[in-house]
């Protein structure tokens, strides 16, 4: 059944992008429990499995029904692109206990057998304790599983926001939303999202938050009930190569021609991207990436264009042909 989000005139002025470390933290927990989400993340899972096995995630899993309500107080939509994990987890800890109890009871009812567990009964009897325990678990997951890789993930998410912000300027919101995910359809000011639980909401001037996510793949998440701002969480661009070795996708002939680092940089410029983001994505020093980009630009393989305060690089037709020929 589809979700329907109805836009009014003021909603177009309040659409924005967001990035959330807290969201990725809870999506890691969900991904560990759901094999269908793990396809692109095999290298990370193999590396993180031993650490993940030391964590007790059973409480969080109780509040992650496969179908149904997930508590908004525990996994709120992001407030923007600048908030860090510490700021977000502080907001979770400040949740109203009575509201958290009602929100969690609804979620527990959607997970078969959850309401009968000792953990759930203890939480509903003492929601302040529930808030502290779950916030503590999320904080442990963040430090154990996500924080070491956050620069790489953040670079990918920032690149997605930069790309889709440019597309928004080029094609408008109605053109962008179907591009973000094929399950989105835009007609006459209404966004229809296929494959969701039935949900309908008039945005009422709040607009829509567009939030790329690494670990939400292949799912698409929409919703968040008042007072939360409506949010669409979608799989970020580029996750297929997120955990790959920088030169893994480069043909041997291209590596021999350009060198391992330079071939990786040329291969990584498959969309407009800045030096810092590309360096984090490839796991290389920003100074090295800058040097490689200078050589590639002088050779006519990439071109740099200024957007605001940053320069974004993309391949020239010659660079595209070289990458395509190297992979033939």
> What's the whole-model pTM score?
0.77
- Give the tokens for residue 110: 């959607």
Which has more pLDDT, 177 or 76?
A: 177
- Find the farthest-apart pair of alpha carbons in the chain and give their distance in angstroms, rounded: 68
Is pLDDT above 80 for 317? no
Mean pLDDT of 99-107: 94
Q: Compute how many other C-beta atoms are within 10 angstroms of the C-beta atom of residue 75.
A: 24
Residue owning tokens 């359809």: 185
Is pLDDT above 60 for 286? yes
The separation between CA 225 and the C-alpha centre of its own chain, rounded to angstroms, equals 20
Ordered DSSP codes for 75-130: SPPPS-SS--HHHHHHHHHT--HHHHHHHHHHHHHTSTTGGGSHHHHHHHH-HHHH
For helices 150-180 and 275-282, give the axis angle rounded to 10 degrees. Answer: 110
pLDDT at 328: 44
**What is the percent of the chain with per-residue pLDDT over 90, rounded to a whole number?**
43
- Least confident window among 91-95, 177-181, 275-279, 315-319: 315-319
> Structural domains in the chain?
3-17+152-239 (no CATH), 21-150 (no CATH), 244-326 (1.10.10.10)
Decide: helix, strand or coil at residue 275.
helix
pLDDT band at 326 (very low <50, low <70, confident <90, very high): low
Which has more pLDDT, 82 or 157?
A: 157
Determine the Cα–Cα distance for residues 255 and 248; give it in Å rounded to an integer: 10
């Amino acid at each position: 059944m589809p979700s329907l989000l109805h836009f009014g005139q003021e909603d177009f002025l309040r659409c924005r992008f967001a990035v959330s470390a807290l969201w990725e933290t809870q999506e890691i927990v969900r991904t560990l429990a759901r094999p269908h989400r793990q396809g692109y993340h095999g290298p990370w899972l193999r590396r993180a499995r031993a650490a993940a096995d030391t964590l007790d995630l059973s409480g969080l899993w109780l509040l992650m029904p496969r179908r149904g309500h997930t508590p908004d107080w525990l996994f709120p939509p992001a407030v923007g692109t600048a908030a860090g994990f510490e700021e977000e987890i502080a907001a979770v800890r400040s949740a109203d206990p009575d509201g958290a109890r009602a929100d969690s009871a609804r979620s527990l009812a959607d997970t078969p057998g959850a309401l009968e567990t000792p953990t759930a009964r203890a939480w509903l009897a003492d929601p302040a304790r529930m808030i502290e325990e779950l916030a503590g678990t999320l904080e442990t997951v963040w430090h154990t599983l996500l924080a070491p890789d956050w620069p790489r993930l953040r670079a990918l998410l920032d690149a997605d926001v930069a790309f889709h912000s440019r597309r928004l300027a080029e094609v408008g919101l109605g053109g962008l939303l179907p591009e973000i995910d094929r399950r989105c359809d835009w007609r006459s000011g209404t966004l229809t999202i296929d494959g969701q639980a039935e949900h309908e909401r008039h945005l009422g001037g709040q607009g829509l938050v567009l939030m790329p996510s690494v670990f939400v793949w292949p799912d698409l998440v929409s919703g968040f009930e008042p007072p939360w701002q409506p949010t669409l969480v979608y799989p970020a661009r580029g996750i297929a190569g997120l955990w790959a070795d920088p030169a893994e996708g480069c043909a041997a002939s291209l590596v021999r021609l350009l060198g391992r680092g330079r071939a990786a940089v040329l291969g990584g410029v498959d969309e407009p991207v800045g030096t810092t983001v590309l360096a984090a994505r490839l796991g290389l020093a920003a100074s090295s990436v800058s040097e490689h980009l200078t050589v590639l630009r002088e050779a006519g393989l990439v071109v740099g264009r200024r957007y605001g305060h940053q320069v974004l690089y993309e391949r020239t037709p010659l660079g595209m042909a070289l990458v395509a020929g190297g992979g033939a």
